[in-house]
Amino acid sequence: MALHQLLAALLSFVGLLISPVTGAAPVFSGTETAKVASETANAAMVPGYRVTPADPADVVTYSVAGAFQVDAAGLVTTTNTLKYTAGYELTATVGGDAVTKTIVYTVFTDAADPAIGGDLTAKVAKDAPSGTTVTTSYTVTDADTAYGDGFTYQLADNSEFEIGLWDGVLKTKAAMGVGPYSLTLTVKDSKRAAATETIVVTVTSLAIKNSINYLSVILCLIAMKFVSQY
């Protein structure tokens, strides 16, 4: 084998060793259960499980059997009203690797609607990288959470922020401009009753942050010099 062929083969082998493994089957965690509002068509399943890709770069696709449908985010909804506890099969796939689980759901009566309250403002630093979690203080209430009701969270089309479908965690997905940003947040419960409010995110100026940092350094130097004299 020529030297250049040997080197090429060696580099290829090393590349395999250091390359991240992608395309592995997604992982189900939690309990293989769900809850759903009774007597409601297009009700959303409130899952006790979560599906995560083995590699963050992987895209998970979903399919479901029975009187249900599932969207690209894995949200399972009913196509008919449900009255009795039963189950459905949910398949999560990455590439050709699929995992199928039978999810047992229970039915409850959903009488209350969700409401959004609390502090509807938030702040984020101008230099915050994509994927930064934005601390929020809004609240979502619904009397039916005691019976197993849950919420899904969505933002109107937005290129700077995204929100967790199930946990409502707000994150940046682009570099921040001067702001402020007005985000239209919609929260839905199992029977798909919705509450909508506007979250206003202001951007903390990088210049202000740097000025504070510089002032802190100067005060420390002054204090050190003062101490050294005594």
Cβ–Cβ < 8 Å for 205, 125: no
Work out whether strand 61-64 and strand 86-94 pair parallel, antiparallel, or are unpaired: antiparallel
CATH 2.60.40.60 fits 115-205, yes or no: yes
Length of the chain in terms of residues written: 230
Tokens of 113: 């609607």
pLDDT of residue 215: 56
- Ranges of the chain whose pLDDT falls below 50: 3-4, 6-7, 10-11, 13-21, 207-212
Q: Which long-range contacts (CB under 8 A, 24 or more apart) does 207-216 make?
A: 209/125, 209/126, 209/127
Which residue type occupies 139?
A: T
pLDDT at residue 4, as a whole number: 44
The correct CATH number of 24-108 out of 2.60.40.60, 2.40.10.120, 1.10.3720.10, 1.10.357.10 is: 2.60.40.60
pLDDT at position 164 is 94
User: In the chain, where are the structural domains located?
Assistant: 24-108, 115-205
Q: In this predicted structure, what is the pLDDT of residue 213? A: 55
Q: What is the pLDDT of residue 6?
A: 45
Equal CATH topology for 24-108 and 115-205: yes
Tens digit of pLDDT for each residue in 137-182?
999 999 998 888 999 999 998 889 999 999 999 999 998 888 899 9
Q: Are 168 and 150 in contact (CB under 8 A)?
A: no
Query: Quick one: pLDDT at residue 50?
Result: 95
Question: Which token pair is 2?
Answer: 């020529």
